[in-house]
Amino acid sequence: MKSLKTTLVVLTLCLITISSGFYGTKSVLAATKSRFEKLELFNKVLFLIESQYYRTVDTEKLVQGAINGMMQALDPHSAYLNKDVFQKMQEDTQGEFGGLGIEVTQKDGVLVVITPIEDTPAHKAGVKPGDKIVEINHESTIGLTLEQAVEKMRGKTKSKVLVGIIRVGVEGVKQYSIKREIIKINAVKSYLIKDNFLLVRLTQFQRNGHEGIAKALKKLAKKAKAKGGAKGIILDLRSNPGGLLDEAVDISSIFLKEGVVVSTEGRDPKNKEIRYVKKTGYKSLDLPLVVLINGASASASEIVAGAIQDHGRGIIMGTQSFGKGSVQTVAKIDDVQGVKLTIAQYMTPKGRKIQAVGISPDVEIEEVEGEWLDSNKKISRYIREVDLKNHLNATIETKEEKAAREIREKDERLERAARIKKLRELKKAKNNKSGDEEEKLYKKYQPKTDYQVLQAVNYLKTFKIFKTLVK
């Protein structure tokens, strides 16, 4: 017996020595012990629920609920993927998917529209960026995870879903009956503006988008040749929620000769992944370039805008972008479930972080409609990454930065309130249409009356003049 005790003591000491060598320091062991103590707390709570709750509970549901809560405590983009959700995420949609055609996020437990994708059922129905989806088929969305809410909006093609929306400036909950469709997105749209300016709109970064842009630019340049030639390019990334990283690199490579497009910084700052400009493929390096962004331009859109801006290849115009600069990966727990986990942050070629900051335009131009600027100003109610609970901070705020931010946010709130009041007064004065009729009206995009596009054209017209003055 004594020999056995001695053996156990020696074995224990060996294990402690090996563990210390493996983890490196006593502090790591202390942290490990602390983690097990916290897990013991979870076990105690679980035991109390199982033994004293007034009715029998499903332990599996309790554990899944705890995991969901743990993931939600990280950031808005990390999530637990149960069997159903995980299976659907494994399917390769290749730019074709079923649903309503909206990009959504969650803020303080409320489902918020980032942007409706152009020409999709939601866009045609009149859903707008910043809308809060509070009901789906008359059932509240409060308390649902983002994945659960999205799942409720999916369904059989041609079937209808009733979406209850709260919108700034509109009283009560507006109900939208939207027919589900297989969404086939024509991501690239192109227009020749004022005979000599090539406008390319990209609504989403999906497979072969760079090929679509190259084809559109060639076609427009050919048309412009008969009218004096192309004099500038406008790349419109407004309300583009992002998509494939490879496409962001490929599209940036059309306009850049060489250098870094984007890099990622993970847990270990020394371990960086760098994506460079591709030197092959179609190139447009000589024509002056304007990139349009707004508060619903996110992720891949911000990567392209940041790369163009840092390389000095073009001017970024519009309003501050969304600020979604984090990288997610889907990790398998087993064959039927997994987690979507934030593992890194994107950085522009000059090392600027996009997360919760976004891309600031070189020339800020608010969105307005039509030729009557004063009476047609839009209220852009975009929810940005920085508004989301537990968003990842790209930097640690100093006291001075925090004070400046709070003053800026207060000014923005006051400005927004004034604009909402003005809009209400204008709507009241227009007796030819009711507010509801105006909200439901689906307007086809008209680039010739797009104020921001026209301002981009004005810049491109004067590009040669300014270039000469600088020289």
Q: Are 54 and 120 in contact (CB under 8 A)?
A: no
Name the catalytic one among 128, 132, 231, 324: 324
Query: Smallest Cα–Cα separation from 293: which of 310, 303, 305?
Result: 305
What token pair was written down for 33?
């012990």
Q: Are 378 and 369 in contact (CB under 8 A)?
A: yes
Longest dimension (CA), the chain: 100
One-letter identity of residue 449: T
321 is catalytic: no
- CA distance linking residue 144 with residue 424, whole number of Å: 33
DSSP string, 206-271: -TTHHHHHHHHHHHHHHHHHTTT---EEEEE-TT---B-HHHHHHHHHHH-SSSEEEEEE-SSTT-
One-letter identity of residue 369: E
299 is catalytic: yes
| Geometric angle at alpha carbon 243, from 360 and 296, rounded to 5° | 40
- The DSSP H or E segment spanning 65 is helix 59-72
- CA distance linking residue 396 with residue 394, whole number of Å: 7
440 is catalytic: no
Q: Are 252 and 261 in contact (CB under 8 A)?
A: yes
DSSP string, 349-390: TT--B-TTT----SEE---BBSS-TTT-B----PPPGGGSTT
| Geometric angle at alpha carbon 441, from 437 and 447, rounded to 5° | 145
One-letter identity of residue 95: G
Residues 6+ apart with CB under 8 A from 239: 115, 116, 118, 129, 203, 294, 296, 297
Angle between helix 209-225 and helix 245-255 axes, rounded to 10 deg? 30
Name the catalytic one among 252, 253, 284, 299: 299
Active-site amino acid positions: 299, 310, 324
